[in-house]
Amino acid sequence: MVNQSADGVVSDTNSGDADSNENPAVRRLDDWNAEELQALVDDNGSPLYVLDLDRVRENYRRLDQAFPDAEILYAVKANALGTLLETIHEAGAGLECASAGEVTRALAAGAPGSAVRYTAVNPPARDLDVVVDAWEDHPDLTITAGAEDTIDRLADRGYDGRLCLRVNPGIGAGHHEKVRTGAAAKFGVPAERAVDVLADAADRGFDVVGIHAHVGSGVQSEQLDAHREFVSRMGDLARDVADAVGDLEFVDVGGGFGVPYREDEDPLDLDAVAEATRDAIGDIDATLSIEPGRYVVADAGVLLTDVNTVKEARETTVVGVDAGMTTLARPAMYGSYHPIRNLTADDGAARETVPQTIAGPICESGDVFCTDRELPASERGDVLAIGNAGAYGYEMANQYNTRPRPASVVLEGDEVRLARRRETIDDVTRLETDRRRSDRDSNPETGR
Annotated binding site for pyridoxal 5'-phosphate: 256, 291-294, 392
Q: Which amino acid is at 185?
A: A
List Cα–Cα distances, 142 to 76, 248, 274, 284, in angstroms: 15, 13, 25, 20
- Residue 431: which residues within 8 A CB-CB, separation 6 or more? none
DSSP label at residue 129: H
Q: How far apart are CA 43 and CA 34, in angstroms?
A: 14
| CA nearest neighbour of 145 among 171, 126, 123, 160 | 123
Q: How far apart are CA 290 and CA 166, in angstroms?
A: 14
The residue from 97, 164, 363, 370 that is catalytic is: 363
Q: How many CB atoms lie within 10 A of CB 261?
A: 19
* Distance, C-alpha 129 to centroid of its chain: 24
List Cα–Cα distances, 148 to 155, 194, 208, 234, 407, in angstroms: 11, 10, 14, 19, 41
| Strand duo 48-52 + 301-312: pairing | antiparallel
Q: How far apart are CA 214 and CA 164, in angstroms?
A: 13
In sign, the C-alpha dihedral spanning 133, 136, 137, 142 is positive
User: How far is the first Cα of the chain from the last one, in angstroms, to the nearest whole number?
Assistant: 67
Q: How far apart are CA 332 and CA 337, in angstroms?
A: 10
| CA nearest neighbour of 254 among 96, 132, 402 | 96
Q: How far apart are CA 324 and CA 229, in angstroms?
A: 39
Binding positions for substrate are: 294, 330, 334, 364, 392
Say if CB 76 and CB 95 are below 8 A apart.
Answer: yes
Reply yes or no on whether 370 is catalytic.
no
Say if CB 376 and CB 352 are below 8 A apart.
Answer: yes
Q: How far apart are CA 86 and CA 60, in angstroms?
A: 13
Say if CB 374 and CB 16 are below 8 A apart.
Answer: no
Where residue 60 falls (left for φ over 0; alpha for ψ -120 to 50; beta otherwise) is alpha
Binding positions are: 256, 291-294, 330, 334, 364, 392
Which of the residues are catalytic?
Answer: 363
